[in-house]
Amino acid sequence: MLAEEYPGSDQIQGTLFLLLVVVWGLDSFVFKRYMVSQVSVTPRLIACIVLATSGAFLMYSSHKLVIEAAEPKLVDWGVYRVARHPMYLGIMLFELGLVSSTLSLPALLLMIAIFVANNKFAEYEEDSLVHELGDEYKTYLTKVKRWGLV
């Protein structure tokens, strides 16, 4: 489904990602205030791999489905049966995977801002899709949660 995107959402997401990488990198490798001493490397590495891989899968799958749907229509199969915004969810899971590798508290706090921004983008797109697709999309809203299982 092709929706009107929140104005400047790509730039905002890019900026937030760069800010996250800078905050995470500085906290983890320069100031070394991360919480790695609380959790051993194995669970952190597993969490990092699972979250980042899941995020990459969601981003790839959702992008592929939307591109294949050349005309504006409801895409309610594949990863869109699990979450209404798998691309945004994938981005956040990938970023959370990065943060989980060192458990940087400032980066984890920044993830809250990233979630709030993505939630705002999702709301905007949903309003656009309700306007464009009508009752079909309203029914989809009742069947599939915005962020999947949560």
Convert the pLDDT of each residue in 90-135 to its tens digit.
999 999 999 999 888 899 999 999 999 999 999 999 999 999 999 9
In-domain check, residue 150: no
Pairwise pLDDT comparison (13 vs 29), residue with the higher score: 13
Long-range contacts at 132-135 (CB < 8 A, ≥ 24 apart)? 132/3, 132/4, 132/72, 133/1, 133/72, 133/73, 133/74
Q: Which residue range forms the structural domain that includes residue 99?
A: 10-143
pLDDT, mean over the chain: 91
In-domain check, residue 133: yes
In-domain check, residue 55: yes
Q: Quote the pLDDT of residue 107.
A: 94
Domain count, the chain: 1
Q: How far apart are CA 20 and CA 51, in angstroms?
A: 16
Q: How far apart are CA 17 and CA 67, in angstroms?
A: 24
Q: How far apart are CA 127 and CA 58, in angstroms?
A: 22
70 confidence band (pLDDT: 50, 70, 90): low
8 A C-beta contact, residue 93 and residue 58: yes
In-domain check, residue 2: no
Give the pLDDT mean for 34-52.
Answer: 86
